[in-house]
Protein backbone atom coordinates (compact mmCIF):
# COMPACT_ATOMS: atom_id res chain seq x y z
CA UNK A 1 0.00 0.00 0.00
CA UNK A 2 1.16 3.51 -0.67
CA UNK A 3 1.72 5.97 2.13
CA UNK A 4 -0.51 8.54 0.43
CA UNK A 5 -3.42 6.07 0.20
CA UNK A 6 -3.43 5.42 3.93
CA UNK A 7 -3.34 9.10 4.94
CA UNK A 8 -1.00 8.32 7.81
CA UNK A 9 -0.27 11.33 9.98
CA UNK A 10 2.87 10.98 12.08
CA UNK A 11 3.66 13.38 14.91
CA UNK A 12 6.93 14.81 16.18
CA UNK A 13 5.88 14.62 19.81
CA UNK A 14 3.13 13.19 21.97
CA UNK A 15 0.99 15.35 24.25
CA UNK A 16 1.94 15.13 27.91
CA UNK A 17 -1.40 13.62 28.95
CA UNK A 18 -0.52 10.36 27.18
CA UNK A 19 0.39 8.06 30.05
CA UNK A 20 2.83 5.53 28.66
CA UNK A 21 5.63 5.27 26.11
CA UNK A 22 3.73 2.63 24.15
CA UNK A 23 0.61 4.80 23.80
CA UNK A 24 2.77 7.80 22.92
CA UNK A 25 4.41 5.89 20.06
CA UNK A 26 1.06 4.56 18.81
CA UNK A 27 -0.11 8.17 18.64
CA UNK A 28 3.10 9.53 17.10
CA UNK A 29 3.24 6.75 14.48
CA UNK A 30 -0.37 7.32 13.45
CA UNK A 31 -1.80 4.03 14.78
CA UNK A 32 -4.10 5.74 17.23
CA UNK A 33 -5.64 9.13 17.81
CA UNK A 34 -4.87 11.37 20.75
CA UNK A 35 -7.87 9.94 22.58
CA UNK A 36 -6.80 6.34 21.93
CA UNK A 37 -9.11 5.58 19.00
CA UNK A 38 -7.49 3.05 16.64
CA UNK A 39 -6.77 4.61 13.22
CA UNK A 40 -6.19 2.95 9.84
CA UNK A 41 -2.64 1.76 10.54
CA UNK A 42 -3.75 0.31 13.88
CA UNK A 43 -6.77 -1.33 12.22
CA UNK A 44 -4.39 -3.07 9.82
CA UNK A 45 -2.54 -4.50 12.83
CA UNK A 46 -5.78 -5.69 14.44
CA UNK A 47 -6.76 -7.33 11.16
CA UNK A 48 -3.36 -9.00 10.86
CA UNK A 49 -3.46 -10.25 14.45
CA UNK A 50 -6.98 -11.65 13.95
CA UNK A 51 -5.95 -13.43 10.77
CA UNK A 52 -2.84 -14.93 12.41
CA UNK A 53 -4.93 -16.18 15.32
CA UNK A 54 -7.61 -17.62 13.06
CA UNK A 55 -4.98 -19.35 10.94
CA UNK A 56 -3.47 -20.95 14.04
CA UNK A 57 -6.88 -22.00 15.33
CA UNK A 58 -7.80 -23.50 11.95
CA UNK A 59 -4.56 -25.46 11.93
CA UNK A 60 -4.22 -26.57 15.55
CA UNK A 61 -7.74 -26.27 16.93
CA UNK A 62 -8.90 -23.95 19.64
CA UNK A 63 -7.10 -24.72 22.89
CA UNK A 64 -5.02 -22.95 25.57
CA UNK A 65 -1.91 -24.20 23.71
CA UNK A 66 -3.03 -22.44 20.52
CA UNK A 67 -3.60 -19.21 22.46
CA UNK A 68 -0.16 -19.56 24.05
CA UNK A 69 1.43 -20.27 20.67
CA UNK A 70 -0.20 -17.17 19.21
CA UNK A 71 1.25 -14.95 21.92
CA UNK A 72 4.71 -16.45 21.44
CA UNK A 73 4.41 -15.84 17.69
CA UNK A 74 3.72 -12.12 18.11
CA UNK A 75 6.48 -11.69 20.67
CA UNK A 76 4.55 -11.51 23.91
CA UNK A 77 5.50 -13.31 27.10
CA UNK A 78 2.36 -14.30 28.91
CA UNK A 79 1.27 -16.20 31.97
CA UNK A 80 -1.90 -18.25 32.16
CA UNK A 81 -4.03 -17.94 35.26
CA UNK A 82 -4.29 -21.14 37.27
CA UNK A 83 -7.70 -20.07 38.61
CA UNK A 84 -9.54 -18.91 35.48
CA UNK A 85 -9.21 -19.12 31.72
CA UNK A 86 -7.35 -15.80 31.55
CA UNK A 87 -3.98 -14.95 30.06
CA UNK A 88 -1.93 -12.02 31.34
CA UNK A 89 0.94 -10.07 29.82
CA UNK A 90 3.20 -8.74 32.55
CA UNK A 91 3.77 -5.04 31.93
CA UNK A 92 4.43 -2.18 34.33
CA UNK A 93 1.65 -0.05 32.82
CA UNK A 94 -0.94 -2.83 33.08
CA UNK A 95 -4.13 -2.08 34.95
CA UNK A 96 -4.54 -5.56 36.40
CA UNK A 97 -2.80 -6.89 39.47
CA UNK A 98 -1.57 -10.47 39.61
CA UNK A 99 0.32 -12.69 42.03
CA UNK A 100 3.00 -14.86 40.53
CA UNK A 101 5.15 -17.64 41.95
CA UNK A 102 8.75 -17.22 40.76
CA UNK A 103 9.51 -20.84 41.67
CA UNK A 104 6.75 -22.83 39.92
CA UNK A 105 4.99 -20.30 37.68
CA UNK A 106 1.65 -20.33 39.51
CA UNK A 107 -0.24 -17.17 38.50
CA UNK A 108 -3.60 -15.61 39.22
CA UNK A 109 -5.37 -12.30 39.47
CA UNK A 110 -4.82 -10.92 42.99
CA UNK A 111 -8.55 -11.26 43.78
CA UNK A 112 -8.75 -14.97 42.98
CA UNK A 113 -5.25 -16.16 43.91
CA UNK A 114 -5.09 -18.98 46.42
CA UNK A 115 -2.42 -19.32 49.06
CA UNK A 116 -1.28 -22.04 51.43
CA UNK A 117 -2.82 -20.72 54.64
CA UNK A 118 -1.30 -21.55 58.00
CA UNK A 119 -3.05 -21.08 61.37
CA UNK A 120 -1.20 -18.68 63.63
CA UNK A 121 -1.17 -21.20 66.48
CA UNK A 122 -2.30 -24.75 67.16
CA UNK A 123 -3.07 -24.38 70.86
CA UNK A 124 -5.97 -26.25 72.47
CA UNK A 125 -9.38 -24.57 72.59
CA UNK A 126 -9.92 -22.45 75.71
CA UNK A 127 -13.23 -21.52 77.36
CA UNK A 128 -15.24 -18.70 75.78
CA UNK A 129 -14.99 -15.47 77.80
CA UNK A 130 -16.80 -12.14 77.42
CA UNK A 131 -14.53 -9.14 77.98
CA UNK A 132 -15.06 -5.40 78.22
CA UNK A 133 -13.32 -3.70 75.29
CA UNK A 134 -14.21 0.01 75.32
CA UNK A 135 -13.52 2.05 72.16
CA UNK A 136 -12.41 -1.03 70.24
CA UNK A 137 -14.56 -0.99 67.12
CA UNK A 138 -11.72 -1.70 64.72
CA UNK A 139 -9.39 -4.69 64.55
CA UNK A 140 -6.34 -2.42 65.00
CA UNK A 141 -7.75 -0.86 68.20
CA UNK A 142 -8.79 -4.28 69.48
CA UNK A 143 -5.34 -5.81 68.88
CA UNK A 144 -3.63 -2.95 70.72
CA UNK A 145 -6.08 -3.07 73.61
CA UNK A 146 -5.83 -6.86 73.95
CA UNK A 147 -2.07 -6.85 73.32
CA UNK A 148 -2.60 -9.56 70.75
CA UNK A 149 -1.48 -9.82 67.12
CA UNK A 150 -4.25 -9.24 64.58
CA UNK A 151 -3.79 -12.91 63.60
CA UNK A 152 -5.54 -13.79 66.88
CA UNK A 153 -8.69 -11.86 65.98
CA UNK A 154 -11.69 -12.49 63.74
CA UNK A 155 -13.26 -9.81 61.59
CA UNK A 156 -16.89 -9.60 60.48
CA UNK A 157 -18.17 -8.32 57.13
CA UNK A 158 -21.87 -8.02 56.46
CA UNK A 159 -23.69 -8.09 53.15
CA UNK A 160 -27.14 -8.64 51.70
CA UNK A 161 -27.57 -11.07 48.83
CA UNK A 162 -29.25 -9.41 45.84
CA UNK A 163 -31.09 -12.52 44.69
CA UNK A 164 -33.18 -13.10 47.83
CA UNK A 165 -32.28 -10.35 50.33
CA UNK A 166 -30.58 -12.90 52.59
CA UNK A 167 -28.26 -11.42 55.22
CA UNK A 168 -24.72 -12.72 54.63
CA UNK A 169 -22.31 -12.66 57.56
CA UNK A 170 -18.67 -13.36 56.66
CA UNK A 171 -15.92 -14.13 59.15
CA UNK A 172 -12.26 -13.74 58.13
CA UNK A 173 -9.13 -13.54 60.25
CA UNK A 174 -8.52 -10.00 61.50
CA UNK A 175 -5.30 -9.46 59.55
CA UNK A 176 -6.74 -10.63 56.22
CA UNK A 177 -8.77 -8.97 53.47
CA UNK A 178 -11.97 -10.36 52.05
CA UNK A 179 -11.96 -11.20 48.35
CA UNK A 180 -15.38 -10.09 47.17
CA UNK A 181 -14.80 -12.02 43.94
CA UNK A 182 -14.31 -15.28 45.85
CA UNK A 183 -17.33 -14.55 48.05
CA UNK A 184 -19.56 -13.75 45.07
CA UNK A 185 -18.42 -16.92 43.31
CA UNK A 186 -19.75 -18.85 46.33
CA UNK A 187 -22.93 -17.03 47.33
CA UNK A 188 -23.87 -14.89 44.33
CA UNK A 189 -24.02 -11.10 43.97
CA UNK A 190 -24.06 -9.15 47.22
CA UNK A 191 -24.07 -5.54 48.39
CA UNK A 192 -23.08 -4.06 51.73
CA UNK A 193 -25.78 -4.54 54.36
CA UNK A 194 -27.60 -1.45 55.64
CA UNK A 195 -27.63 -0.45 59.30
CA UNK A 196 -31.27 -1.63 59.54
CA UNK A 197 -30.43 -5.02 58.02
CA UNK A 198 -27.50 -5.43 60.43
CA UNK A 199 -29.68 -4.55 63.41
CA UNK A 200 -32.42 -6.95 62.25
CA UNK A 201 -29.95 -9.85 62.21
CA UNK A 202 -28.98 -9.23 65.81
CA UNK A 203 -25.44 -8.09 64.91
CA UNK A 204 -23.89 -4.94 66.40
CA UNK A 205 -21.65 -3.03 63.99
CA UNK A 206 -18.11 -2.70 65.30
CA UNK A 207 -18.71 -5.55 67.76
CA UNK A 208 -20.33 -8.03 65.37
CA UNK A 209 -20.13 -11.74 66.06
CA UNK A 210 -21.31 -14.88 64.28
CA UNK A 211 -22.49 -16.14 67.67
CA UNK A 212 -26.19 -15.57 68.24
CA UNK A 213 -27.33 -14.28 64.86
CA UNK A 214 -30.85 -14.58 63.49
CA UNK A 215 -31.57 -15.75 59.93
CA UNK A 216 -28.07 -15.24 58.60
CA UNK A 217 -26.09 -17.06 55.96
CA UNK A 218 -22.79 -17.40 57.82
CA UNK A 219 -19.67 -17.84 55.68
CA UNK A 220 -16.45 -18.71 57.51
CA UNK A 221 -13.07 -18.42 55.84
CA UNK A 222 -11.24 -21.74 55.95
CA UNK A 223 -8.39 -20.19 57.91
CA UNK A 224 -10.77 -19.01 60.65
CA UNK A 225 -12.16 -22.54 60.83
CA UNK A 226 -8.68 -23.90 61.59
CA UNK A 227 -7.61 -21.10 63.97
CA UNK A 228 -8.24 -21.68 67.69
CA UNK A 229 -9.18 -19.05 70.28
CA UNK A 230 -9.84 -15.98 68.12
CA UNK A 231 -11.17 -12.77 69.65
CA UNK A 232 -14.48 -11.86 67.97
CA UNK A 233 -17.25 -9.38 68.66
CA UNK A 234 -19.93 -10.12 71.27
CA UNK A 235 -22.85 -8.45 69.44
CA UNK A 236 -22.95 -6.05 72.37
CA UNK A 237 -21.57 -2.53 72.26
CA UNK A 238 -18.16 -2.35 73.99
CA UNK A 239 -17.70 -6.11 74.40
CA UNK A 240 -15.79 -8.88 72.64
CA UNK A 241 -15.60 -12.62 73.08
CA UNK A 242 -12.25 -14.23 73.74
CA UNK A 243 -11.47 -17.80 72.61
CA UNK A 244 -14.14 -18.21 69.95
CA UNK A 245 -13.75 -21.55 68.19
CA UNK A 246 -15.44 -22.87 65.09
CA UNK A 247 -17.51 -25.07 65.12
CA UNK A 248 -17.71 -25.28 68.90
CA UNK A 249 -19.28 -21.82 69.33
CA UNK A 250 -21.10 -21.15 66.05
CA UNK A 251 -22.14 -22.82 62.83
CA UNK A 252 -21.69 -21.82 59.20
CA UNK A 253 -23.53 -22.56 55.99
CA UNK A 254 -20.23 -22.47 54.18
CA UNK A 255 -16.55 -22.84 55.07
CA UNK A 256 -14.46 -21.73 52.11
CA UNK A 257 -11.48 -19.71 50.99
CA UNK A 258 -12.86 -16.16 50.74
CA UNK A 259 -9.76 -14.05 51.47
CA UNK A 260 -7.31 -12.25 49.22
CA UNK A 261 -3.79 -13.57 48.92
CA UNK A 262 -1.06 -10.99 49.47
CA UNK A 263 2.49 -10.63 48.14
CA UNK A 264 4.78 -12.78 50.28
CA UNK A 265 2.07 -15.36 51.01
CA UNK A 266 2.90 -18.99 50.34
CA UNK A 267 2.26 -20.29 46.80
CA UNK A 268 -0.62 -22.81 46.90
CA UNK A 269 1.36 -25.20 44.71
CA UNK A 270 4.90 -25.06 46.11
CA UNK A 271 4.85 -22.64 49.12
CA UNK A 272 7.47 -20.24 47.69
CA UNK A 273 6.61 -16.57 48.36
CA UNK A 274 4.15 -15.10 45.83
CA UNK A 275 5.19 -11.86 44.12
CA UNK A 276 2.99 -9.03 42.92
CA UNK A 277 3.13 -7.85 39.30
CA UNK A 278 1.27 -5.30 37.21
CA UNK A 279 -0.26 -6.99 34.23
CA UNK A 280 -2.78 -6.69 31.43
CA UNK A 281 -5.39 -9.33 30.62
CA UNK A 282 -4.97 -10.14 26.92
CA UNK A 283 -7.27 -13.15 26.67
CA UNK A 284 -10.17 -14.49 28.62
CA UNK A 285 -12.16 -17.66 27.90
CA UNK A 286 -10.17 -18.15 24.70
CA UNK A 287 -11.22 -14.73 23.38
CA UNK A 288 -8.25 -12.54 22.51
CA UNK A 289 -8.74 -8.89 23.40
CA UNK A 290 -7.14 -7.50 20.26
CA UNK A 291 -7.22 -3.78 20.98
CA UNK A 292 -5.71 -4.31 24.41
CA UNK A 293 -3.19 -6.59 22.77
CA UNK A 294 -2.06 -3.84 20.39
CA UNK A 295 -1.56 -1.43 23.32
CA UNK A 296 0.35 -4.11 25.23
CA UNK A 297 2.59 -4.93 22.25
CA UNK A 298 3.41 -1.24 21.84
CA UNK A 299 4.46 -1.04 25.50
CA UNK A 300 6.86 -3.93 25.08
CA UNK A 301 8.05 -3.53 21.50
CA UNK A 302 9.51 -0.06 21.13
CA UNK A 303 12.84 1.69 21.44
CA UNK A 304 13.70 5.38 21.68
CA UNK A 305 12.89 5.93 17.99
CA UNK A 306 9.56 4.18 17.68
CA UNK A 307 7.74 0.88 17.47
CA UNK A 308 9.59 -2.40 16.88
CA UNK A 309 6.68 -4.77 16.27
CA UNK A 310 7.41 -8.32 15.14
CA UNK A 311 6.55 -9.45 11.62
CA UNK A 312 3.33 -11.05 12.90
CA UNK A 313 2.17 -7.85 14.59
CA UNK A 314 3.43 -5.05 12.32
CA UNK A 315 1.00 -3.53 9.79
CA UNK A 316 3.43 -4.30 6.95
CA UNK A 317 6.50 -6.49 6.44
CA UNK A 318 8.45 -3.86 4.54
CA UNK A 319 8.80 -0.08 4.62
CA UNK A 320 9.97 0.91 1.15
CA UNK A 321 11.36 4.39 0.51
CA UNK A 322 13.44 6.17 -2.06
CA UNK A 323 15.96 9.01 -1.88
CA UNK A 324 15.78 11.31 -4.93
CA UNK A 325 18.81 11.02 -7.25
CA UNK A 326 20.61 13.56 -9.44
CA UNK A 327 20.97 11.42 -12.54
CA UNK A 328 18.96 8.26 -11.89
CA UNK A 329 15.17 8.03 -11.50
CA UNK A 330 15.05 6.37 -8.09
CA UNK A 331 11.28 6.88 -7.84
CA UNK A 332 10.43 4.71 -10.83
CA UNK A 333 12.99 2.11 -9.65
CA UNK A 334 11.20 2.11 -6.29
CA UNK A 335 7.82 1.78 -8.03
CA UNK A 336 9.07 -1.32 -9.84
CA UNK A 337 10.48 -2.77 -6.65
CA UNK A 338 7.19 -2.07 -4.86
CA UNK A 339 5.39 -4.11 -7.49
CA UNK A 340 7.92 -6.95 -7.21
CA UNK A 341 7.71 -7.08 -3.43
CA UNK A 342 3.92 -7.07 -3.52
CA UNK A 343 3.86 -9.78 -6.19
CA UNK A 344 6.16 -11.86 -3.98
CA UNK A 345 3.57 -11.74 -1.20
CA UNK A 346 5.41 -9.26 1.00
CA UNK A 347 3.07 -6.64 2.41
CA UNK A 348 4.76 -3.36 1.72
CA UNK A 349 4.22 0.23 2.78
CA UNK A 350 5.64 2.40 -0.01
CA UNK A 351 6.54 5.86 1.20
CA UNK A 352 5.79 7.67 -2.05
CA UNK A 353 5.76 11.14 -0.49
CA UNK A 354 7.82 13.99 -1.82
CA UNK A 355 9.61 14.45 1.51
CA UNK A 356 13.21 14.83 2.64
CA UNK A 357 15.02 11.54 3.28
CA UNK A 358 15.43 12.43 6.96
CA UNK A 359 11.67 12.70 7.43
CA UNK A 360 11.14 9.31 5.78
CA UNK A 361 13.86 7.63 7.85
CA UNK A 362 12.30 8.99 11.03
CA UNK A 363 8.82 7.86 10.05
CA UNK A 364 10.13 4.42 9.09
CA UNK A 365 11.59 4.03 12.59
CA UNK A 366 8.45 5.43 14.20
CA UNK A 367 6.01 3.14 12.33
CA UNK A 368 8.36 0.23 12.88
CA UNK A 369 7.87 -2.27 10.05
CA UNK A 370 10.39 -5.09 10.56
CA UNK A 371 12.31 -4.33 7.34
CA UNK A 372 13.22 -1.03 5.71
CA UNK A 373 14.36 -0.95 2.08
CA UNK A 374 15.84 2.25 0.67
CA UNK A 375 16.35 2.89 -3.04
CA UNK A 376 19.16 5.42 -3.50
CA UNK A 377 21.21 6.61 -6.43
CA UNK A 378 24.59 5.24 -5.39
CA UNK A 379 23.33 1.74 -4.73
CA UNK A 380 21.19 1.71 -7.83
CA UNK A 381 24.25 2.45 -10.01
CA UNK A 382 25.52 -1.02 -9.10
CA UNK A 383 22.04 -2.64 -8.95
CA UNK A 384 21.83 -2.59 -5.16
CA UNK A 385 19.38 -1.31 -2.54
CA UNK A 386 19.87 -0.75 1.17
CA UNK A 387 18.18 -3.17 3.55
CA UNK A 388 17.85 -2.59 7.28
CA UNK A 389 16.14 -4.70 9.86
CA UNK A 390 14.27 -2.41 12.29
CA UNK A 391 15.97 -3.92 15.30
CA UNK A 392 19.47 -4.18 13.77
CA UNK A 393 22.00 -1.37 14.17
CA UNK A 394 23.70 -1.94 10.80
CA UNK A 395 22.25 -1.87 7.31
CA UNK A 396 23.44 -3.86 4.32
CA UNK A 397 23.51 -3.47 0.55
CA UNK A 398 21.63 -6.20 -1.30
CA UNK A 399 21.40 -6.84 -5.04
CA UNK A 400 17.94 -6.07 -6.43
CA UNK A 401 17.79 -9.62 -7.77
CA UNK A 402 18.21 -11.05 -4.24
CA UNK A 403 16.07 -8.65 -2.24
CA UNK A 404 12.92 -10.75 -2.01
CA UNK A 405 14.72 -13.90 -0.84
CA UNK A 406 16.82 -11.87 1.59
CA UNK A 407 13.74 -10.30 3.17
CA UNK A 408 11.97 -13.65 3.46
CA UNK A 409 15.07 -15.01 5.16
CA UNK A 410 14.92 -12.26 7.81
CA UNK A 411 11.18 -12.45 8.36
* Footprint on this chain of Zn ion (rule: CB under 5 A): 101, 103-104, 106, 267, 269-270, 272
Of the pair 108, 283, the CB lying nearest Zn ion is at 108
Nearer to Zn ion, 225 or 272 (CB): 272
Strands 190-192 and 154-161 turn out to be antiparallel
* C-beta separation of 398 from 332 below 8 A: no
CB of 120 to Zn ion, least distance (A): 22
Cβ atoms < 10 Å from Cβ of 34: 12
Of residues 103 and 128, the one with the C-beta less far from Zn ion? 103
Rounded CA Rg of the chain: 31
> Between 275 and 377, whose beta carbon lies closer to Zn ion?
275
State in angstroms the smallest separation of the CB of 269 from Zn ion. Answer: 4
> At its nearest, how many Å lie between Zn ion and the CB of residue 200?
44
113 or 384: CB nearest Zn ion: 113
Of 179, 176, 204, which is closest to residue 190 (Cα–Cα)? 179
Minimum distance between the CB of residue 361 and Zn ion, rounded to whole angstroms? 48
Residue 101 beta carbon to Zn ion: minimum distance, rounded to whole angstroms:
3
Nearest CA to 232 out of 123, 111, 331, 150 is that of: 150
Q: Which is nearer to Zn ion, 21 or 97 (CB)?
A: 97
Closest CA to 384 of 369, 373, 370: 373
Q: Which is nearer to Zn ion, 46 or 273 (CB)?
A: 273
Q: State the nearest-atom distance from the C-beta of 179 to Zn ion, in Å.
A: 19
Angle of helix 40-60 versus helix 64-73 axis, rounded to 10: 140
Smaller CB separation from Zn ion, 81 or 227: 81
Contact 127, 248 (CB under 8 A): no
Cβ–Cβ contacts within 10 Å for residue 112, how many?
Answer: 20
If the CB atoms of residues 44 and 267 are measured against Zn ion, the closer one turns out to be 267
- How does 202-224 read in b/e, with b if 16+ C-beta sit within 10 Å? bbbeebbbbbebeebbbbbbebb
Quote the least distance from Cβ 114 to Zn ion, whole Å. 11
Going from the C-alpha of 349 to that of each of 50, 315, 336, 360, the distances in angstroms are 20, 9, 14, 12
Output the smallest distance, CB 274 to Zn ion, in A: 8
Least distance in angstroms from the C-beta of 105 to Zn ion: 7
What does the CA dihedral 56, 58, 62, 67 come to, rounded to 10 degrees? 10
d(CA 122, CA 256): 20
- The H or E element that residue 53 is part of is helix 40-60
Amino acid sequence: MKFSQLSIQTQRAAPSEIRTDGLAFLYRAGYASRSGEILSLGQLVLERLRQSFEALTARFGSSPETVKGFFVQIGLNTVKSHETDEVFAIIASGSDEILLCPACGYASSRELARTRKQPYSSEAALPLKKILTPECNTIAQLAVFMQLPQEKTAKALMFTRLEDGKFVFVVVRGDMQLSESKLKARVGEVRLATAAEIAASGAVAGYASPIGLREALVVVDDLVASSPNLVAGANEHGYHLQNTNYPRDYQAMLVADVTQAAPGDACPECTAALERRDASIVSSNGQIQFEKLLLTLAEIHHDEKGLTLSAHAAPFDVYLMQVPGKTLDTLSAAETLYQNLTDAGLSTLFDDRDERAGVKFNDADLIGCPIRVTVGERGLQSGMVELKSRIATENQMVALADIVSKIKEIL
